[in-house]
Amino acid sequence: MELRDISTILILGLTIGCIYAVIAVGLNLLYGTMRMLNVAHGDLIMLGAYAAYWLFTIYKISPLISAIFAALGGAVIGLITYRLLFASSIRITKSLESLEGSSLLIFFGLLILLENVALLWWGADFRGYAYLTSAVTILGTPVPLNRLSAALIAVAVCLAFYIFLQRTLFGKAVRAVIQDKDATQLVGINTGKIYIFCFGVAFAMAALAGALVSMFYSITPFIGLPYTLMAFVVIILGGLGNILGSLVGGLLLGLVITAVVAYTTPGFAFIVQYLIFILVILFMPQGILGRRTR
């Protein structure tokens, strides 16, 4: 293996890893605070990608700007989903753990619904567009500008959210809910407010990521589920409920997948991804950072 290959894998792996990270942070936020595994997370990515695609092909709006609209739209969908499907059952239940199974099935229904609504409206064709395709050379590797800008935005969003969690009072309350929901309520924090906020942020991050990946990956109504499964691998790598872990896990998985694709075929990348997933679940259920978050 030459040095140049290593730098190519490093750069491509890290750029895609940043996108994985922002997807996984959103998914992990819902699990960390509410013990909900959102299997429809990837379908928000799909919606965000279509939003950016249509805004670009019809109105020539830069996907970097439509990413903001996508995030706002995602947040609204998140708030509606929470209000309609979860607010009442969360108010009634004594322990969020008892909702784990049923909330997963509700998200499952949402996944089927969103995927087929997208098929009805937009059909099953592969769609894509060219934007910022010129490349800059980093360490001898040409990197397309669209990938680079997407990665920078993704990692900036992740870090901003992490700093928000660490530095602000509201962020502290979110972390408190992740650590112990009952104790948080005991000290008088309105957990309902935190839940609705987390739904908004998680859905917004997914839709934003969708707008970003639409610049260099093709779009179909089916792109959601593979992203969701990838994000599950990342949050399990980084530890469920551990936001910083998701960032690290995303970068790591991006590197591994890029390396596997470089030396074998894309088909093997899926297999390696699921093998990592299964092995981590079985042998390192607390994630690679190994910190208990509950």
Partner 1 sequence: MTPKARALAIWVPILLILLTLPLYASGYYISLLITILMWVILSVSWTIFSGYTGYISLAVAAFFGIGAYMTVILWPALPFFIIIILGGLASMFFALLIGSPCLRIRGPYFIILTLGLSELVKHIFLIYEVRVRGTVGTLLLGAPSSETFYYSLIVIAVMVAATAYFVKNSKFGLALFSIKGNEEAAEAMGVDTTRYKLLTFGISALFMGFTGAIMALRWTYIDPSVIFNPLITFQVTIMAILGGVEDFRGPIIGAAVLTLISEAFGIRYPYHYMALLGITLILLIKFMPTGLLGAIGKLRAVRKLT
Min dist CB 279 to partner 1, Å, is 10
- Least distance CB 100 / partner 1 (angstroms): 5
Residue 85 sits in the site that holds partner 1 (CB under 8 A): yes
**How distant is the alpha carbon of residue 176 from its chain centre?**
22
- What DSSP designation does 195 have? H
Task: Provide the minimum distance between the beta carbon of 19 and partner 1 in the complex, in angstroms, as a whole number.
Answer: 20
CB 33 within 8 A of CB 55: no
Instruction: Give me the least distance between CB of 27 and partner 1, in Å please.
Output: 11
Q: Which is nearer to partner 1, 101 or 142 (CB)?
A: 101
What's the Cα-to-Cα distance from 38 to each of 26, 209, 232, 280, rounded to whole Å? 10, 16, 10, 20
Considering beta carbons, is residue 141 or 286 the nearer one to partner 1? 286
- CA-angle at 22, arms to 5 and 111, nearest 5°: 115
- The residues with which 219 forms a beta bridge, in sequence order, are 127
User: Binder to partner 1 among 6, 152, 160, 275 (CB under 8 A)?
Assistant: 275
Query: CA 99, 102, 105, 109 torsion: positive or negative?
Result: negative
Estimate the crossing angle of helix 169-179 against helix 3-34, to 10 degrees. Answer: 80
Q: What is the DSSP string of 16-27?
A: HHHHHHHHHHHH
User: Which of 68, 281, 290, 294 touches partner 1 by CB under 8 A?
Assistant: 281
Nearer to partner 1, 56 or 277 (CB): 277
119 belongs to the binding site for partner 1 (CB under 8 A) = yes
CB 252 to partner 1: min, Å: 18
Q: Is 290 in the site for partner 1 (CB under 8 A)?
A: no
Contact 45, 150 (CB under 8 A): no
Angle between helices 224-238 and 100-122 (to 10 degrees): 150
Amino acid at 256: V
**Residue 278 touches partner 1, criterion: CB under 8 A:** yes
Q: How far is CA 162 from CA 20, 174, 230, in A?
A: 16, 11, 21
Does position 93 bind partner 1 by CB under 8 A?
no
Stretch that binds partner 1, among 129-137, 212-220, 250-258, 280-288 (CB under 8 A): 280-288
Residue 262 main-chain phi, psi, to 5 deg: -65, -35
DSSP 180: -
109 Cβ partners below 8 Å, 6+ apart?
none
| One of 54, 268, 284, 286 touching partner 1 (CB under 8 A) | 268
Both tokens of residue 246? 């998701």
Q: Which is nearer to partner 1, 151 or 206 (CB)?
A: 206
Task: Pick the closer one to partner 1 by CB: 34 or 244.
Answer: 34
Binding mask 131-150 for partner 1 (x = CB under 8 A): --------------------
Based on the shown chain and the rule CB under 8 A, indicate whether residue 229 belongs to the binding site for partner 1: yes
- Contact call for residue 286 and partner 1 (CB under 8 A): no
Return residues touching partner 1 (CB under 8 A): 31, 35, 37, 39, 85, 89, 97, 100-102, 104-106, 108-117, 119-120, 225, 229, 232-233, 265, 267-268, 270-271, 274-275, 277-278, 281-282, 285
